[in-house]
């Protein structure tokens, strides 16, 4: 079995070496020729898996991305070739939550406020947003969450509509996947009009992608 891995994935060579031959490559430069006679492909978001990349993948059975997002995977092209694929939802939730909390602490020190006096609005209550909410609530910070998709699916938590959250929260933290289709697209969810409506003392933290 031949497995190509992104050379910047720690421990991947040791882990997948138990299954067969492992070929580390730069994720930014993987080509269709590289996938000839390859059984598995392990990547990050810098590798765009599309029809062109898959054109010579005569033996490929599996593509795994070590990321929470998977918009760099052409699911239609993968399914057309019968290639199984998966991503890693929540894999970075601890690191992202630590980033947001530490950013707030730095800003509090620089600007002279207490984070315990602030209301934090979390847009996107998936694994990352939910974990951040748990951390903030655990230290006594008031949190409002917005996630219309989760709400529509019957999530029992209390949700706040987007415009109310943007108006009432001192801190707004973004934790949505990038989506352009469906009833609740997130691409450009924070547009010019919404940015212009924010108060000068509000803090906006983008811990997601593709929102502007």
What tens digit of pLDDT does each residue of 17-56 get? 999 999 999 999 999 999 999 999 999 999 999 999 999 9
- Closest by CA to 161, choosing from 176, 177, 182, 146, is 146
* CA–CA dist 108, 179 (Å, integer): 32
Contacts made by residues 75-83, CB under 8 angstroms, sequence distance 24+ = 77/49, 77/50, 77/51, 78/49, 78/54, 81/54, 81/57, 83/54, 83/57
- Closest by CA to 133, choosing from 122, 123, 124, is 122
Q: Report pTM.
A: 0.78
Instruction: Band the pLDDT of 90: cuts 50, 70, 90.
Output: confident
Residue 91, pLDDT above cutoff 90: no
Instruction: Band the pLDDT of 210: cuts 50, 70, 90.
Output: low
Q: What are the structural domains, with CATH classification, of the chain?
A: 2-86 (3.40.50.720), 93-206 (3.40.50.720)
Write down the H helix ranges in 17-126.
75-80, 93-111
Question: What pLDDT sits at residue 212?
Answer: 52
Q: Are 53 and 73 spatial neighbours (Cβ–Cβ below 8 Å)?
A: no
Residue 60, pLDDT above cutoff 70: yes
Which DSSP helix (H) or strand (E) runs through 163? Answer: helix 162-168
Structure tokens at 25: 């490559």
């Amino acid at each position: 079995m031949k497995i190509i891995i992104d050379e910047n994935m720690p421990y991947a060579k040791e882990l997948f070496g138990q299954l067969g031959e492992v070929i580390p490559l730069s994720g930014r430069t993987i080509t269709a020729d590289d996938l000839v006679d390859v059984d598995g492909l392990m990547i990050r978001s810098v590798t765009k898996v599309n029809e062109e990349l898959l054109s010579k993948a005569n033996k490929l059975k599996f593509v795994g991305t070590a990321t929470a997002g998977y918009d760099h995977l052409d699911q239609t092209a993968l399914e057309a070739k019968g290639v199984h694929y998966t991503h890693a939802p929540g894999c970075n939730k601890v690191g992202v939550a630590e980033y947001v909390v530490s950013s707030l602490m730095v800003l509090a020190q620089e600007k002279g406020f207490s984070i315990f006096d602030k209301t934090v609005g979390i847009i996107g209550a998936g694994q990352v947003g939910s974990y951040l909410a748990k951390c903030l609530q655990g230290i006594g910070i008031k949190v409002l969450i917005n996630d219309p998709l989760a709400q529509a699916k019957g999530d029992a938590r209390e949700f706040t509509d987007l415009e109310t959250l943007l108006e009432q929260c001192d801190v707004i933290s973004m934790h949505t996947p990038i989506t352009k289709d469906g009833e609740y697209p997130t691409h450009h969810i924070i547009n010019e009009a919404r940015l212009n409506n924010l108060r000068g003392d509000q803090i906006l933290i983008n811990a997601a992608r593709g929102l502007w």
